[in-house]
Structure 1
Amino acid sequence: MKNDFDVTILHYEDPSEIRSGRIRSTQVHFHPALDRERRFRMPDQDDAPPIKTIHFSLGPQKLFIGRLTHAAASVDQRLAFARVMEDLERQGVTFRKTRVTPDDLNELAGSYELLIDASGKSGPLAPFPVEPELTPFQTPQRKCAVGYFKGVAPVRPEGVSITVVPGVGEMFEIPALSESGPVTVLFVEAVPEGALDAFKGVKTPQDFQNRMESILKESFPDIFGRLDPGQFSLADEQAYLLTAITPVVRRPYAMRNGTLVLGCGDSAILADPITGQGCNTASYCADRLYETLLERRDSPWDETVGADYWNRVRTYVKEVTEWTNAMTGPLPGHVVNMLMQAAADQSAADKIVHWFEAPSTAHAALFGT
């Protein structure tokens, strides 16, 4: 986009502040997102540990190891965002360090032909209307506890490990790259008030580390057995996060003071991270947004452009959202049967793991579409 349009980015942090701040996500970029990043010549993630498999356990029982069609990667967003900002600035993109509020939109609308609201989980800034059919929940379905750790030996073959404890929650183990080198992301998705909802009262990095170690010992002995007691620690004092997300999908366009505002990423489409699709959906939508603007660059940027963009992404958003929302509830019986079949059939295991690369296949498996 920087080569086709005059772009100004408004953000309240500079790269050094992002690098030294709190972690933001459990991001895994599957190969379609990585392919888009290469196509747009974004800084590569080749130095991240390659994620080629997904290990799946149901309670204490290891069911299968599925193979991704292409390697995925996870890079601490503090490092990734800082790299991208520095790369864009070198290429002449204008950055303004400022914190934008909804009250600023009218003034900004008078200064730009188009506004893109990518304000993330703290947004939206623009009055994007909620899509009721894709927003069934009014409260968080999980409480999330995320830490980036040193001193955890990886699963073999190295990849993502998912353990589902029915009625209680999930544990995700993800090899990633942070500023300090390779780390292991330990991510608890806890059903509220259940046994894994155990991080209440955590105030310090040491509290978080101690609580995570206790949970591993009590509920995830396989991971606990791979800890090096002398090395197990948070990667840095900001390498943990506690949050709870209420999933919501908004129509990603609105007019403000005569100027079109488009939404991209969590500001418009906010999903529970249980299926690892947040950054991948944002990447897909950003690509379709660019495509829309490029094709409509010689026409007025009005609500018809917003509707065009929404039409291009709506099916994908619907499939991801309905799959993700279904995973926060009890697993449907036919899905449990698929998982059990995958325990004895490598091709079935690979097909399930492919869901994460191609959400439409997950949606079809769950809903028969």
Structure 2
Amino acid sequence: MRKILVVGAGQSGLQIALGLQSQGYEVTLMSNRTADEIRTGRVMSTQCMFHTALQHERDLQLNFWESQAPKIEGLGVSVAAPGSWAEGPAARAIDWLGRLDGYAQSIDQRVKMAGWMETFAQRGGQLVIHGAAVGDLDYFARTYDLVLVAAGKGELVQMFGRDAERSPYSEPQRALAVSYVHGLGPRPEHPDTEGVRCNLVPGVGELFVMPCLTTSGRADILFWEGIPGGPLDVFNGVKDPAEHLSLTLELMERYVPWEYARATKVELTDAGGTLAGRYAPTVRNPVGRLPGGGLVLGVADVVVANDPITGQGSNSASKCAAAYLSSIVERGDKPFDEEWMRATFDRYWNTAQHVTKWTNAMLAPPPEHILNLIGAAGELQPVADRFANGFNDPADFENFFYDPEKTQAYLVEVSGAGAA
């Protein structure tokens, strides 16, 4: 029986640990917090998992909360008319809703990670509550067949060198601010459809609104992404959750009043329901070299960290876990050497590269052909639907998004089909 150590108990670390456990591997999982500390702590993320990522969980029978979580059936885009907020609340220039082929869901990671961690322990897995340092891994690398590093923050990440060719940004491109709330009203335009709402405010930032399941039941996430130094970049140093929510709502009233209109009665889900921060999107070398010569393999956002503007973090973590799990099982009794580690990462990069390209494109000011595409989606439902489903399969954006000629050809084709 092969012995594997997974360091980090997030989406990817736990999904891999539980998957390997179900295949008969001897798995040790290291977490710096207990399940109870996670469950009662601060929110860790926004997360909206689309069909493919959810299916990876179903395949491992880990979809414990699927019947309780809201089923997100649409993805809407609104664009504020540039400069319309100068004199008063902003006006909408664009507003549409694309339909998802398979529903998405958002489950607060405090609920999921705590539940999965308890399941891992109940099934006989060895759970070690300890924040791992490089020195610890140096020791463990000699006693395990494979060490996977799935803890995306702290000193362990520094073992994996930045891949400059794949990392165009060296600084954070957005200031992030999250609030989990109860009491948000429905969108009057589509009162019966649970949807993720992407509100784009040109030159200022974005507000995302999504229904989720949290520790206290159904809730909604309000998530600002502000251009650094701009009017949304005001959450740094705000420690009081009530002040954080108040700031969130003030900014909504000015820049996205159509969303603010349904948020006048909201309150935070709990004292840990806010989060703020920023980080530079980075792709790293997947193999970490320990001082004693041992090798460790980086997982998910340890090696590919994208800005959350495209909502891909937990999706990518799930896809990475699925790819790594297959590679480990297929390896059989052969050594997990450096060549295997790089090939395993490349298998994940086949999908992750599309996420990174799309996310980095969305962080930049949109070129004219993208504005035309987003505008056309308001008139042509197939365009809205295809854009929405790109969140599940970002590889499709290669076919109609980046190249102005492909975008134009696609719009002509859809317009012609509509006319016919």
Which bracket does the TM-score occupy, shorter chain normalised? Answer: over 0.9
Query: How far apart are residue 333 of structure 1 and its match?
Result: 1.7
Query: How far apart are residue 154 of structure 1 and its match?
Result: 3.0
Residue type of the alignment partner of 1:39? D
Residue equivalent to 1:81: 113
The structure 2 residue matched to 1:248, chosen from 282, 292, 298, is 282
Query: How far apart are residue 151 of structure 1 and its match?
Result: 1.4
Q: Residues 41, 259 of structure 1: CA spacing in aligned structure 2 closer, same or farther, 3 A cutoff?
A: farther
Q: Tell me, which stretches of 5 or more residues in structure 2 are unaligned?
A: 1-19, 81-91, 407-420
Residue equivalent to 1:167: 203
Query: How far apart are residue 76 of structure 1 and its match?
Result: 0.6
Aligned-partner Cα distance in 2 for 1:182–1:199: 25
Q: Tell me, which stretches of 5 or more residues in structure 1 are unaligned?
A: none
SS in 2 for 1:162: strand
Aligned-partner Cα distance in 2 for 1:246–1:126: 14
Residue equivalent to 2:35: 15
Aligned-partner Cα distance in 1 for 2:385–2:249: 31
Residue equivalent to 2:3: none
Conservation of the 8 A alpha-carbon contact between 1:74 and 1:175: yes
Conservation of the 8 A alpha-carbon contact between 1:121 and 1:270: no
Conservation of the 8 A alpha-carbon contact between 1:115 and 1:259: no
Residue equivalent to 2:15: none
Matches within 5 A, 1:91-106: 91-106=123-138
* 1:192 maps onto 2:228 in alignment: yes
Residue type of the alignment partner of 2:379? A
Query: How far apart are residue 245 of structure 1 and its match?
Result: 1.3
SS in 1 for 2:159: coil
Aligned residue pair count: 367
Query: How far apart are residue 122 of structure 1 and its match?
Result: 3.6
* 1:145 maps onto 2:150 in alignment: no
Query: How far apart are residue 313 of structure 1 and its match?
Result: 1.7
SS in 2 for 1:83: helix
Q: Once the two structures are superposed, what CA deviation does each residue of 1:210-263 show, in whole Å capped at 9, x if it has no partner?
A: 11121121211112111243xx21100110000101100112223434543111
Residue type of the alignment partner of 2:263? L
Residue equivalent to 1:357: 392
Please identify the structure whose Cα radius of gyration is greater: 2
Greater than 6 Å deviation, 4+ residue runs: none
Conservation of the 8 A alpha-carbon contact between 1:8 and 1:93: yes
SS in 2 for 1:146: strand
Residue equivalent to 1:128: 160
Conservation of the 8 A alpha-carbon contact between 1:168 and 1:194: yes
Bigger shift: residues 45-54 or 358-367 = 358-367
Residue equivalent to 1:48: 69
Aligned-partner Cα distance in 2 for 1:233–1:50: 22
Q: Residues 352, 99 of structure 1: CA spacing in aligned structure 2 closer, same or farther, 3 A cutoff?
A: same
Residue equivalent to 2:6: none
Aligned-partner Cα distance in 1 for 2:294–2:399: 38
Matches within 5 A, 1:250-269: 250-256=284-290, 257-269=292-304
Aligned-partner Cα distance in 2 for 1:259–1:186: 43
Aligned-partner Cα distance in 2 for 1:341–1:123: 46
Matches within 5 A, 1:177-326: 177-229=213-265, 232-256=266-290, 257-326=292-361
Conservation of the 8 A alpha-carbon contact between 1:251 and 1:268: yes
Query: How far apart are residue 316 of structure 1 and its match?
Result: 1.6
Bigger shift: residues 140-149 or 331-340 = 331-340
RMSD of aligned Cα (Å): 1.6
Residue type of the alignment partner of 2:385? D
SS in 2 for 1:366: coil
Aligned-partner Cα distance in 1 for 2:169–2:284: 13
Residue type of the alignment partner of 1:264? V
Aligned-partner Cα distance in 1 for 2:223–2:387: 21
Aligned-partner Cα distance in 2 for 1:351–1:247: 26
Q: Residues 123, 235 of structure 1: CA spacing in aligned structure 2 closer, same or farther, 3 A cutoff?
A: farther
Residue equivalent to 2:50: 30
Bigger shift: residues 13-22 or 41-50 = 41-50
Conservation of the 8 A alpha-carbon contact between 2:133 and 2:155: no
Conservation of the 8 A alpha-carbon contact between 1:322 and 1:363: no
Q: Residues 126, 292 of structure 1: CA spacing in aligned structure 2 closer, same or farther, 3 A cutoff?
A: farther
Aligned-partner Cα distance in 1 for 2:49–2:99: 15
SS in 2 for 1:88: helix
Residue equivalent to 1:57: 78
Aligned-partner Cα distance in 1 for 2:215–2:398: 36
SS in 2 for 1:38: helix
Conservation of the 8 A alpha-carbon contact between 2:286 and 2:345: yes
Bigger shift: residues 56-65 or 18-27 = 56-65
SS in 1 for 2:388: helix
Q: Once the two structures are superposed, what CA deviation does each residue of 1:323-368 show, in whole Å capped at 9, x if it has no partner?
A: 1011001012211111111110101110111110101012443334
Residue type of the alignment partner of 2:372? N
Residue equivalent to 2:366: 331
Conservation of the 8 A alpha-carbon contact between 2:281 and 2:306: yes
Bigger shift: residues 344-353 or 308-317 = 308-317
Identity among equivalent pairs (%): 35
Aligned-partner Cα distance in 1 for 2:180–2:397: 28
SS in 2 for 1:183: strand
Residue type of the alignment partner of 1:220? V
